[in-house]
Structure 1
Amino acid sequence: MIKRFLGHFRSIKYKFLFANLALLVILCSSIIYLWNVRTAQDTRISVGEYINEMLKITNDNLEVSLKDIYGLVNIAASDSDIVQILSKPSTISDAEYVQDDRKMRKYIAGLFTYKHYLNDITIAGNERNMYSLGHSVSFDFLTGQPWYGKLWNQEGATVLIPPHYNSDNPVTSSSQDDKVISIAKPVYGDNQAVGFVLADVRTQLLTDIFSSNLKGQVKMLVADTKTGNLIFKPQLAGLDQMASDSNAFAPIIQRIRNQEGSFYTRLGKVDYLIVYRYSPLTEWMMVALVPKSHLLEQFHQTRNLTLLISILFCGAAAIVSILVSSFLTKSILRLNRAINKVDGEHLHLQIQIKSNDEIGQLYRQFNQMVHRMKELMESTKRTEQEKRKAEIRALQAQINPHFLYNSLNTIKFLSVYQGADNIRKVTESLSKLMHIAMKDHSFITVAEELDYLQCYMNIQEFKYSNKFTYSVSVEDEMMICILPKLLLQPLLENALLHGIGPMKGQGMITLKGYRDGDLLIFRLQDNGVGMTQDAIDKIKSQKGENAGLGIRNVSSRIEMTFGHEYGVSVVSEPRLYTIVEVTLPAIERGEEDQYV
């Protein structure tokens, strides 16, 4: 199973498919991860900013409501009639007290207009001069409260009293709704305190304000920054028991350093986002608690939906990749199977691809290569057959030179026996020529080449009936150098046939050889009919007649053996002379292997 899988992975189709899927999975995973991190951060920031704005609105609403009460208290504390009434001693008559009480009740009732959360207003100077609308607490109860001492230590400032039970009998007021927030201010007359004004506001004000702006899972916590006590506690499932204990929220209050901000914390077994804001008027810290699960609920739903869509998209992309890879690699696989069937016996592709893309080009190029291979193999086969035939003919032809060589020796023996020196000389020279030609060596020494030329000239002297003279002048140091066999003979033959032969009179041929550094230079000169420059150019361009065959043959052999820097040069003057100069590298026996 594993081997089969690995075999598939070696296929270009599956490599293409796996590469696409891997790239797709990495891309989708990276995008989802970055989106998850960034969205979570943005969600926290957005929710924090939203809740902070709601806290600001809530605080503004609370301060507006409390400032109304502050205004009422300040008006009452500065009213001259109230100052006059509170300045009276406690020994006033009952009639005067009833008259003042009626007047004060009417005044207090006027302050209640459009103040829905105002529970009661108490104006008191002493135990007898105490006026309110239905307030049942005693003067001694009020003066015994902790806030009463602060009232006179604030030098006439208004005092905000956190939620408390304003009753002589707190047992009968056990409900949270029975608590009130009080605002008190001393009353001064003739630069001395004559009493105070106390306004009670129902804590329902806090509940209504906080509940109207922050709904759902978001709950409020309000703490007094001076005492650390909770002013308003959240009613949240799982936090009710903790909410009954102010110390449970102490870590939250301790982490607050600025006037506004947010952070994550854990209460009980639940993680919360804490958003807080400070109120300068009340000196309270308003804290909003948002469960993290609720905070990211919409985000998690979106994330899960995104994951589902990504999985479906990856599945669809996998199907598309399979189809596309199958389509793109179909021709490649067909070509691969066809190529695997090509061998020495089947030199043709059994498929046909008509596409104009790279695969079609590869098919056509490979098809052309196969055709060339087929033609080359057929050509090689024919060459081998011709080579075998040539070898057979060569073996057969070897008999003739040996037979001719033996026959010449017989003629030489008979000429000596009969005293025919001319026949002996020609036969002996021809026998030497054949002996040199029958040697297997491609290179011979300069001395051997000169002997060969001498034998050739001995035969030609009888042919031309002493029509020319022949002289050789070659430096001795050149004799041990080597050169290709029978290289100079065609030039000498060309001089006799086309230079000396057509002329009238005695001809002269000279061969000179000398060494110039690493070069061997042979200069063959005759006084024959010569050539024009056009004839020389035709010989060099290989367009000449038979007169140039020997020169071109020697020049080609030299260039093929030693390179283009060596060769033959011709200088001639019509009816005067022709000079053929041969340039060769100076090499000795043993160095010829690099040129063979």
Structure 2
Amino acid sequence: MQRSFKAKVIVSFFTIVNLALLGMGTLYYYKTSGDIERNTIDSLEQLVDRSVTILDNHMDNIRNEAWSYFSDKDFQVFVSNMSSAYPEKNSYYKNRLETSQRKFNAIGMIGVYDLYGNELASGQRSMLNAAEDNHRTKNQKKTLIEMALQKDGYPQWLVTHATAINSGNLNNTISFVQALKKISTYSQKMVGVIQIEFNASLLNQSIQDLNSGAGKDFVIVDRQGKIVFAENEDEIGKEIGDEPWYRSLTLTGKIGYRKSTIQGERYVTLYRKFQLNDWMLVGKIPLDNVLGGVKQARKFTLVIGVITLFIAMILAYFIAGSMTKSIRKLREHMKQVELGNFKVTVPVRSYDEIGSLGMSFNRMTRQIDYLVEKEYEARLLKKEAEIVALQSQINPHFLYNALGTIDALASIEGQEQISRISQSLGSMFRYSIKGGQVATLSEEVQQVKLYLSIQQIRYEDRVTYQIEIEPGLEEQLLPKLVLQPIVENAIKHGIEQIRDGGCVTIQARSIPDGRMAIRVHDNGAGCDERRLGEIRNMLNNTGFASRMADEDRSSIGLDNVNRRIRLYYGEQAELTFDSSKGTGTEVTLLLPITHAGRDSDA
């Protein structure tokens, strides 16, 4: 099925826009997805870094507070004699512990134990009765004392349990544990252990904040990959050091991330090392969660693309309509030309290629209309010529015999001038009616000589003539009877108007543009500017209507010659007319030089 030009423009425009949008949309999507992924991971890194920094600050405060007790000699003495200490001392240090706990919200409880299991504690632990204490914390307290003594006073963070005040349930937490020594000049004797628990609810909330959102899983691990603290207490103590996603972490810097695949699902794994110990916060997040903004960007890109395509189609329709409107108009006018109407004109509203096509079409129709009119005029002239020829051929022997009789009688009576006139008229008559519409230049000149011989008899000494023909031009062909009407016009309107000294000059020369110039000059009366303008306008208007309107004018001979050479040679032929009052007139014929044979049937 053949498509219209408008449809092709729409399809081309839509294809180009579609490809451009597809390319731009793809680039935008990948650029946006990359930016969103990087920004999201950067935000997660910042969140992890901020969370660990806060925990580090809390842990540093706890360590500093423990050091204040570790370096207090009076407190060392108190712990070494805790079992026999005065009640006032117990009350004093208990208040001090309570004060330390209230000073930092990160402290959940401070407990001090001697080597015999005696205890002085603040906060939650102080509110438990002896039965609960023995039941829940005996083993933990024993373990803390053993581990602290093994470190010989070196501080450490351990996983512990804290008792909630409201529910009495055990909560997972971490504790700063350090052995207390009684330091003297000669010895450093172990006297007990101090434990400062990290506020369990605060620690748990920090991990919960990191895990907010589907699929997130952050935990605190030690250097061997053992989970120290997690939101899900079942994970505490679990070894993850051998898991692929954990091993994929390079752990070379303070903080970092890496993409990994776990059971066919892509994850982003992050880590941030603690400053005060060898612990590390690690976590994994499904990549789809990270790229949630990318999905929104993809949807947004698709929506914008569809809207843009819809707008592009509408614009393509109107642009194609605007572009093809002129072509449709041109096509409609072409159909009128096909029907024979050559006077149509396409309105040109632009100067682009389509406008240029319209102007060319207008020039073509004007030229065709001109040629049709010329052809019509030529056919009419041919009809007229045929009629005249037929009329002129009526009984030619009678005219010949009549002129012969006049010539014979003139000879008998001794009238030589009448005899010469009869002979010249007979020759002119035979030339005009013999076959063919073209003649050689020499034949035309001979016809002019016969005419001028008759005029010399008529005007006696008032008329003379000169004829100059360039050698080689004698056999050039031209339409028959083009010189005689011009010479006749020179005699009638030029020489006849002066008393004596009239001269007609005929010259034929070749010119550089490949034409020959035939000039007929007379030194007669000439004409004024007004009359000169009228004649030139007549010669420039070769239409058939103008000819009919000017048939009764004295310059019909010039008009006839002008139209015949134009019909014969086309635009290559010219007839110019120059004249001035009192100096004479010059008529010039510019005709192509031809070397074709005579066409007697033309």
Q: Same fold (TM over 0.5)?
A: yes
Q: Which residue of 1 aligns with 2:392?
A: 401
How far apart, CA to CA, are the structure 2 residues paired with 1:524 and 1:332? 55
Deviates more, 1:242-251 or 1:336-345: 336-345
Q: Which residue of 2 aligns with 1:537?
A: 529
Residue identity opposite 2:274 in structure 1:
S
- Give identity over the alignment, percent: 14
Residue identity opposite 2:98 in structure 1:
T
The alpha-carbon deviation at position 77 of structure 1 amounts to 2.0
1:59 counterpart (44, 49, 52):
52
| 1:297–1:335 Cα change, 3 Å | same
1:426 and 2:418 equivalent? no
How far apart, CA to CA, are the structure 2 residues paired with 1:178 and 1:15? 74
How far apart, CA to CA, are the structure 2 residues paired with 1:427 and 1:319? 90
Residue identity opposite 2:533 in structure 1:
S
2:474 counterpart (471, 474, 480):
480
| 1:455–1:404 Cα change, 3 Å | farther
Contact 2:178 2:195 in 1 (8 A): yes
Residue identity opposite 1:262 in structure 2:
Y
How far apart, CA to CA, are the structure 2 residues paired with 1:316 and 1:344? 40
Residue identity opposite 2:66 in structure 1:
V
The alpha-carbon deviation at position 19 of structure 1 amounts to 6.3
| 1:592–1:390 Cα change, 3 Å | closer
| 1:196–1:521 Cα change, 3 Å | farther
The alpha-carbon deviation at position 74 of structure 1 amounts to 1.6
Contact 1:221 1:232 in 2 (8 A): yes
Contact 1:490 1:550 in 2 (8 A): yes
| 1:199–1:494 Cα change, 3 Å | same
Q: Which residue of 2 aligns with 1:199?
A: 194
The alpha-carbon deviation at position 222 of structure 1 amounts to 1.7
Q: Which residue of 1 aligns with 2:539?
A: none
1:73 and 2:66 equivalent? yes
Contact 2:25 2:305 in 1 (8 A): no
How far apart, CA to CA, are the structure 1 residues paired with 2:336 and 2:492? 59
How far apart, CA to CA, are the structure 1 residues paired with 2:63 and 2:236? 35
The alpha-carbon deviation at position 541 of structure 1 amounts to 1.6
| 1:144–1:292 Cα change, 3 Å | same
1:211 counterpart (208, 211, 222):
208
How far apart, CA to CA, are the structure 1 residues paired with 2:65 and 2:511? 132
The alpha-carbon deviation at position 142 of structure 1 amounts to 7.3
Contact 1:559 1:566 in 2 (8 A): no
Q: Summarize the alignment of residues 509-588 of structure 1 with structure 2, pairs less than 5 Å apart.
A: 509=503, 511=505, 513=507, 524-525=521-522, 530-531=524-525, 535-542=527-534, 567=576, 569-570=578-579, 573=582, 578=584, 580=586, 582=588, 587=593
How far apart, CA to CA, are the structure 1 residues paired with 2:305 and 2:506? 96
After superposition, give the CA deviation of every residue in 1:372-410 in whole Å (9 maximum; x if it has no partner).
Answer: 99xx99x969986x8777656544443333345433432
Residue identity opposite 1:117 in structure 2:
G
SS where residue 258 of structure 1 aligns?
coil
1:99 and 2:96 equivalent? no
How far apart, CA to CA, are the structure 2 residues paired with 1:65 and 1:241? 21
After superposition, give the CA deviation of every residue in 1:407-430 in whole Å (9 maximum; x if it has no partner).
Answer: 343235546766547455333322
| 1:480–1:148 Cα change, 3 Å | farther
| 1:588–1:428 Cα change, 3 Å | farther
Contact 1:210 1:220 in 2 (8 A): yes
Contact 1:551 1:568 in 2 (8 A): no
How far apart, CA to CA, are the structure 2 residues paired with 1:118 and 1:233? 20
Residue identity opposite 1:270 in structure 2:
E
Contact 2:108 2:197 in 1 (8 A): yes
How far apart, CA to CA, are the structure 1 residues paired with 2:450 and 2:91? 167
Q: Which residue of 2 aligns with 1:445?
A: 441
The alpha-carbon deviation at position 444 of structure 1 amounts to 1.9
Q: Summarize the alignment of residues 167-316 of structure 1 with structure 2, pairs less than 5 Å apart.
A: 177=172, 181-184=176-179, 187-190=182-185, 192-195=187-190, 198-202=193-197, 204=200, 206-211=203-208, 214-217=211-214, 218-225=216-223, 227-233=224-230, 235=232, 243-248=238-243, 251-252=246-247, 254-297=249-292, 300=295, 302=296, 306=300
How far apart, CA to CA, are the structure 2 residues paired with 1:326 and 1:551? 56
Residue identity opposite 1:251 in structure 2:
Y
How far apart, CA to CA, are the structure 2 residues paired with 1:327 and 1:480? 64
Contact 1:234 1:243 in 2 (8 A): no
How far apart, CA to CA, are the structure 1 residues paired with 2:378 and 2:509? 41
1:113 counterpart (73, 92, 98):
98
The alpha-carbon deviation at position 310 of structure 1 amounts to 6.2
Contact 2:268 2:285 in 1 (8 A): yes
The alpha-carbon deviation at position 259 of structure 1 amounts to 1.7
How far apart, CA to CA, are the structure 1 residues paired with 2:327 and 2:502? 78
| 1:70–1:513 Cα change, 3 Å | closer
SS where residue 117 of structure 1 aligns?
strand
Q: Summarize the alignment of residues 361-376 of structure 1 with structure 2, pairs less than 5 Å apart.
A: none
| 1:185–1:235 Cα change, 3 Å | same
Contact 1:524 1:581 in 2 (8 A): yes
SS where residue 490 of structure 1 aligns?
helix
State how many pairs are aligned.
527
The alpha-carbon deviation at position 254 of structure 1 amounts to 3.7
SS where residue 121 of structure 1 aligns?
strand
TM-score (norm 1): 0.65
Contact 1:223 1:285 in 2 (8 A): yes
Contact 1:491 1:551 in 2 (8 A): yes
How far apart, CA to CA, are the structure 2 residues paired with 1:426 and 1:216? 131
Unaligned runs of 5+ residues in structure 2 are 102-106, 121-132, 163-169, 343-348, 537-551
The alpha-carbon deviation at position 219 of structure 1 amounts to 2.6
Q: RMSD of aligned C-alpha atoms?
A: 5.9
SS where residue 183 of structure 2 aligns?
strand
How far apart, CA to CA, are the structure 2 residues paired with 1:411 and 1:123? 175
Contact 2:463 2:495 in 1 (8 A): no
Contact 1:262 1:276 in 2 (8 A): yes
2:159 counterpart (163, 170, 174):
163
| 1:242–1:308 Cα change, 3 Å | farther
| 1:503–1:275 Cα change, 3 Å | closer
| 1:28–1:187 Cα change, 3 Å | farther
Residue identity opposite 2:185 in structure 1:
D
How far apart, CA to CA, are the structure 1 residues paired with 2:521 and 2:321? 76
Residue identity opposite 1:409 in structure 2:
Y
